[in-house]
Amino acid sequence: MEPRSCDTFVALPPATIGNQVIFGKNSDRLSDEVQEIVYFPEKCSRPGEKLECTYIEIEQVEKTYAVVLSRPSWLWGAEMGANEVGVCIGNEAVWGKEEIDDEEALLGMDLVRLGLERAKTAEEAVDVIGNLLEKYGQGGNCSEDSMSFTYHNSFLLADRKEAWILETAGKYWAAEKVEEGIRNISNSLSITTKIDREHPGMREYAKTKGWWDGKKEFNFAAVYSYFNPSRISSSGDRFCEGYKLLRKHKGSMTAETMMEILCDKKSGINMEGGFMTTGSMVSILPQDLKQPCCHFFTGTPDPSRSFFKPFIFVPHIQKLIKTMSPSFGSEDPVKCKPRFQTKPDRRHELYKKHETALSAMETKGKAMLEQIKHLEKQKLKEVESIMKDTNLDKSSLVLLFSECVEEEIKVYE
User: For the domain with range 7-412, which CATH number is right: 3.60.60.10, 3.30.70.330, 1.50.10.20, 3.40.50.300?
Assistant: 3.60.60.10
pLDDT at 331: 47
The residues assigned a catalytic role are 6
**Mean pLDDT for the stretch of residues 312-316:** 96
Choose the weakest-confidence range: 57-66, 94-103, 124-133, 321-330: 321-330
pLDDT on residue 272: 93
pLDDT score for 230: 47
Give 34-65 pLDDT, tens digit per residue: 999 999 999 999 999 999 999 999 999 999 99
Radius of gyration for the chain, computed over Cα atoms and rounded to the nearest angstrom: 20
Mean pLDDT to the nearest integer, 360-375: 82
- Give the separation between CA 273 and CA 28, rounded to whole angstroms: 10
Within 121-225, where are the H helices?
122-136, 202-208, 220-224
Give yes or no for residue 2 having a pLDDT over 80: no
More confident residue, 102 or 276: 276
On average, the pLDDT of the chain sits at 92
Dihedral sign (CA 127, 132, 137, 142): negative
335: pLDDT strictly greater than 60: no
For position 359, what pLDDT does the model report?
78
Q: What is the mean pLDDT of residues 1-14?
A: 82
Quote the Cα angle for 318-323-327, to 5°.
90
- pLDDT tens by residue, 192-240: 999 999 999 999 999 999 999 999 999 999 999 986 544 544 556 889 9
The band of 338, judged by pLDDT with boundaries at 50, 70 and 90, is very low
Check: CB of residue 265 under 8 Å from CB of residue 272. Answer: yes
CB 189 within 8 A of CB 225: yes
Q: Which pLDDT band holds residue 365 (cuts at 50, 70, 90)? A: low
Share of the chain above pLDDT 90, in %: 83
What is the mean predicted confidence (pLDDT) over 382-395? 90
Task: Please report, for the chain, the start and end positions of each structural domain, with discontinuous segments joined by +.
Answer: 7-412
Q: What is the pTM of this model?
A: 0.95
Cα separation, 323 vs 352, whole angstroms: 10
DSSP character at residue 325: P
Which pLDDT band holds residue 339 (cuts at 50, 70, 90)?
low
The answer to which of 168-177, 248-257, 287-296, 364-373 has the lowest mean pLDDT is 364-373
Q: Is the pLDDT of residue 182 over 50?
A: yes
pLDDT of residue 1: 44
**What is the pLDDT at residue 297?**
98
